[in-house]
Amino acid sequence: MSDIVDVIVIGGGLVGSSAAWQLAKRDRSVVQLEQYGPKHKHGASHGTSRIYRQAYDNHLYTGLAAAALPLWRELETTTDIGFLELTGAVDHGLPEAVLSKARILVEAGIKGEILTPAEASARWPGLRFDTTVLHHPDAGRLHADRAVTALKAGAAFAGAEVRHNTRVLSVVEASYGVDVITDGEALRARHVVIAAGAWTGELIDRSGFRSAIELPTLVTTQEQPAHFAPLDPGVHWPSFVHHAGAELTTAGIYGLGSDDGIKIGEHATGPVVTPETRDYIADAAGQHRLVEYAESWLPGVDSASVESVTCLYTSTPDSNFVIDRVGAVTVAAGFSGHGFKFGPALGELVSDLVDGNTLPPDLFRLGERGK
C-alpha cells in the first residue's frame, strides 16, 4: 500500500484537472488519475474550442463564469500556455431569452449592450441576426486541449502528481478516508474527488456508494457539432448563441470561431449512449440540420465545407451541475454540455468542499431532480 495522500482526484478532464490545480495550490498532496493518455478524444474535454461567456439566466452561473476569468488568466501566466481569447459574445433570437440574460448582467455589474439585428450585422457580417441581440465583450473562446494541458501543468507545477493511463476500478471506504483501487495498485487518501464524466455513475455503482451517494439521473449523449470554412478569414467572429422561438423554429444553436473553422452545434440533441457504445460517427440528419442553419444564418461561411465531430455530454434532468460531498467523497459530475467555461472556478468550489469550508449551492446538491 502507498503512503496516505490528502486527495486523489479521479478524472483528467476539465473539472478533475481544475480541482487538482486548485487543491495543489492549497498545498494539499494530490494525485490525479486519468484512465487514458493526454489529449484523448473519448470524453467531453477535447478539441479546439469552447465558448467562454458570462450571460446566463441566474446569478449563480454568471458569478461563477465571472470568477473563472481571472483564474484562467492566472493559469495562462503560470504555465505560459495561451488558450483564452476574448472575442466578445452575442445572444440573439427570442426576446425573452435574450433580455433575461441582459438583466442578470446589469444586476451583476457586467458590461453588455442591446443591439438591433441591423446594428449587429454591420459589426459582425459573418452572422445574420434574429429579433433582439445582446453583446457582452468579456466573453469569447477557449482552446479546450490547451486549457486542459495548462490545468494539468499548473497542477504539476503546484506539486500534484498527474498520472495518465491509470484506470480506477473502485473506491473503498477506510478508517483514514478511502482506498482507491486502480488496475495497477491500491492508493490511500484522506479524500477522493470523483470527476469522471460519463464514467461517474458506473464508478459509484462499482464502489457500492449508490445508497450513500444519491446521484440524480445522469444521461450521456453523443453530440455532433460541425465546423465550416469562413469565406473571409479576416472577418471577426464573436461567440454566439441563437435562441429558438422567434425566427428560428428548430433547436437553438451555439457557435464560435476556432482553429478548425466556424463551429456550430445544437445543444443536447444527440442519441443516448454509453462511453462503450458510442460510435464516433456523426448522424447524417443532424449534420444536414447544421448545414441548413449555416445556409440561412451564417453568410460568412461556405456551407458546403461541413466537417462534423463528436463528443459526449453527461447531463442532469435540470441541466444543473452536481458538486457535493458525502463523507470523504466529493462528486463533481453532470456538467450538461455547458461546464467548460467555469473550469477553475469549479475547481475552487470542489476544493472548498474538500476543505470543509463551504456547502454546495442548492442547485448543485446530490439527490434526484425534476426538469
Q: Could you read off the pLDDT of 262-283 as tens digits, one per residue?
A: 999 999 999 999 999 999 999 9
- What is the per-residue pLDDT across 332-363, written as a single tens digit (0 to 9) for each? 999 999 999 999 999 999 999 999 999 999 99
16 within 8 A of 193, measured Cβ to Cβ: yes
Q: What local confidence, expressed as pLDDT, does residue 62 receive?
A: 98
Can you tell me the distance from the alpha carbon of 269 to that of 293, in angstroms, rounded to the nearest whole number?
15
State how far the alpha carbon of 366 is from the alpha carbons of 185, 266, 325, in Å.
30, 27, 8
194 with 11: CB under 8 angstroms? yes
Nearest to 268 by CA among 201, 307, 220, 228: 220
Q: Give Cα separations from 231 to 107, 218, 296, 303 (angstroms).
A: 38, 40, 15, 10
d(CA 280, CA 292): 22
Going 186 to 14 to 64 to 99, the CA torsion angle's sign is negative
Its pTM surpasses 0.95? yes
| The pLDDT of residue 2 | 73
Look at 97-111, 147-161, 198-212, 307-321 and tell me which has the smallest mean pLDDT: 198-212
**CA–CA dist 92, 298 (Å, integer):** 13
pLDDT band for 1, please (50, 70, 90 cuts): low
Strands (E), 245-300: 253-258, 261-266
* Helix and strand element counts for the chain (H, E): 8, 21
Q: How far apart are CA 191 and CA 193, in angstroms?
A: 7
Contact 224, 307 (CB under 8 A): no
**Whether the Cβ atoms of residue 197 and residue 203 lie closer than 8 Å to each other:** no
Task: Render the burial of 170-192: b for 16+ CB within 10 Å, e for the rest.
Answer: bbebbeebbbbbbeeeebbbbbb
- Report residue 115: phi and psi, to 5°: -125, 155
Structural domains of the chain in order of their starting residue, each with its CATH number: 4-46+146-218+318-364 (3.50.50.60), 89-137+220-315 (3.30.9.10)
Q: How far apart are CA 114 and CA 134, in angstroms?
A: 5
CA distances from 323 to 24, 139, 200, 363 (A): 19, 24, 12, 9
The DSSP secondary structure of 268-293, one letter per residue, reads: S-SPB--TTT------HHHHHHHHHH
Q: In whole angstroms, what is the distance from residue 288 CA to residue 290 CA?
A: 5
* Average pLDDT along the chain: 96
> CA 31: distance to chain centroid?
22
Burial of 219 from C-beta contacts in 10 A (0-12 / 13-18 / 19+): middle
How would you class 353 by CB atoms within 10 Å of its CB: exposed for 0-12, middle for 13-18, buried for 19 or more?
A: buried
Amino acid present at 330: T
Does an H or E element contain 113, and which? Answer: strand 113-115
- Checking if the pLDDT of 370 tops 90, the result is no
Q: In what order do the strands lie in the sheet with 113-115?
A: 113-115, 132-136, 89-93, 239-243, 253-258, 261-266, 226-230, 301-308
Any residues with CB less than 8 A from the CB of 196 and at least 6 apart, and which? 10, 11, 16, 168, 203, 333
In this predicted structure, the answer to whether residue 130 has a pLDDT above a threshold of 70 is yes
Across 178-196, average pLDDT: 96
Distance CA 323, CA 364 (A): 5
pLDDT of 311 higher than 70: yes
Model confidence band, residue 368 (pLDDT cutoffs 50, 70, 90): confident
Averaged pLDDT, 315-329: 97
**What is the per-residue pLDDT across 34-82, written as a single tens digit (0 to 9) for each?**
999 999 999 999 999 999 999 999 999 999 999 999 999 999 999 999 9
